[in-house]
Structure 1
Amino acid sequence: QELDFCSPESENYVPCFNVSGKLDLGYSEGNEYDRHCENGLRKNCLVLPPSKYRVPLRWPTGRDVIWVANVKITAQEVLSSASLLSLLIFNVFFIEADKMLDIGCGYGSFGAHLFSKQLLTMCIANYEPSGSQVQLTLERGLPAIFFSHYHN
């Protein structure tokens, strides 16, 4: 089946996830982050990339260099995300593992450097309207997903 493109307002569309709509209905205390697919609200269209989006750099260059225009964060936020990185990486090499979950993954710096040491890290981040954590990790060529930590 061929799909049409979504409207430009759908740039940050996440299927079955409408925080602002749930807040309008009175949800609170984390319940507004639950994902439910209500009938008739699904969009069957392709979300267009942002107008200034550029194809990410190939690995391994993409591990350390991203196009700042591809994500809605400042360059300073990217630079400050690695502040505890060296300490964490030092401690990880005392365990024997080849896969890790990085819950609340920041901007994927931890996973990017572990990948260069043959340790695959899955970034699991809470949804943000900008999508910056997951988007930046994906821009680096690493696996990442949105996840809601809240439940009924």
Structure 2
Amino acid sequence: ARLGIVGEDGAMRDNFDIGAVVNETDLATDEGATQEPGSVGAGGGNRARIGKFPACPASMREYIPCLDNDEEIRRLPSTERGERFERHCPAKDKALSCLVPAPKGYKAPIPWPRSRDEVWFSNVPHTRLVDDKGGQNWITKAKDKFTFPGGGTQFIHGANQYLDQISQMVPDIAFGSRTRVVLDVGCGVASFGAYLLSRDVLTLSIAPKDVHENQIQFALERGVPAMVAAFATHRLLYPSQAFEIIHCSRCRISWTRDGEHSF
């Protein structure tokens, strides 16, 4: 992996102007970083070279610093409202000094629109969803790929049919014209959002990192906008009325209890 600054010409460089230096230690990226705070760049500012981060151990390939912070999670006074699924970022002095490695055998993702229906197994090597949700038409494994039939817990016959049913029940939704931005809560493998893209609707798919491993990895690998998030005691990082529709298909959210914290 490379680390640097992308210039106006689109090229990445690890040697660049940084302007005035307040604290020389802020330039370091790891103990072996090469620093040149005394040299002067073409624009009259200081120059610095970014060192390379080493790779984290292979056992950390699923690690997300703000979600896998066991030390902070153990300090929570309660977890009954899903607090452990919220963000608990480590202090600055406990931040990672290595790069989380990609899965073994990772390859260039399949491009959209093919990625809506299939992704490489080696890129998201999780099989629990296949075992738990295979009967609901979420996901199947076929040789070296995962395939997505388009189903979900509440729409096992496919997201397209489900979207047609919603449009028939609530014609004013008018996907692609009156409705353009949607939030899908508890998205699973994000088939709802994936099929809305073909209807000119941009969907943000969210789900917690729970017993089904990281479902969001499937969404991102498919090319669907997604983030790991949970509705618990803090609102999402978006302004009120940022979404025209909020979709929750058996997402197990207590809207009367937690909805006020989320929007």
Give the equivalent residue in structure 1 for 2:88: 36
| Structure with greater Cα Rg | 2
* Cα deviations by residue, 1:93-122 (Å, 9 ceiling, x for unpaired): 731211211111111111111111211111
Q: Give the whole-Å Cα distance in 1 for the aligned partners of 2:65 and 2:73.
A: 17
| TM-score (ref. length: structure 1) | 0.82
The unaligned stretches of length 5 or more in structure 2 are 1-49, 139-150, 235-263
The unaligned stretches of length 5 or more in structure 1 are none
Question: 1:68 and 2:118 equivalent?
Answer: no
Q: Give the secondary structure class of the aligned counterpart of 1:5.
A: coil
Report if aligned partners of 2:206, 2:226 keep a CA contact under 8 Å in 1. yes
Give the equivalent residue in structure 2 for 1:7: 57
Report if aligned partners of 1:19, 1:33 keep a CA contact under 8 Å in 2. no
Give the equivalent residue in structure 1 for 2:217: 135
Indicate the structure whose relative CO is greater, using CA pairs within 8 Å and at least 6 residues apart.
Answer: 1
Q: Kindly report which structure 2 residues correspond to 1:1-152, keeping only aligned pairs within 5 A, or say none.
A: 1=50, 2-18=52-68, 20-22=70-72, 24-25=74-75, 27-29=78-80, 30-39=82-91, 40-71=93-124, 72-73=126-127, 75=130, 77=133, 80-81=137-138, 82-83=151-152, 84=155, 85-90=159-164, 91-92=166-167, 94=171, 95=173, 96-128=178-210, 130-131=213-214, 133-151=215-233
Q: CA deviation at 1:23?
A: 5.7
Q: CA deviation at 1:22?
A: 4.9
Matched residues, number: 151
* Cα deviations by residue, 1:74-98 (Å, 9 ceiling, x for unpaired): 5564672204124431114731211
Determine which structure has the larger helix proportion and give its number. Answer: 1
| TM-score (ref. length: structure 2) | 0.51
Q: Give the whole-Å Cα distance in 2 for the aligned partners of 1:141 and 1:108.
A: 10
RMSD over aligned Cα atoms: 2.5
Q: Give the whole-Å Cα distance in 2 for the aligned partners of 1:37 and 1:146.
A: 14
- Partner letter of residue 61 of structure 1? R
Q: Give the secondary structure class of the aligned counterpart of 2:119.
A: coil
Greater mean alpha carbon deviation, residues 20-29 or residues 47-56: 20-29
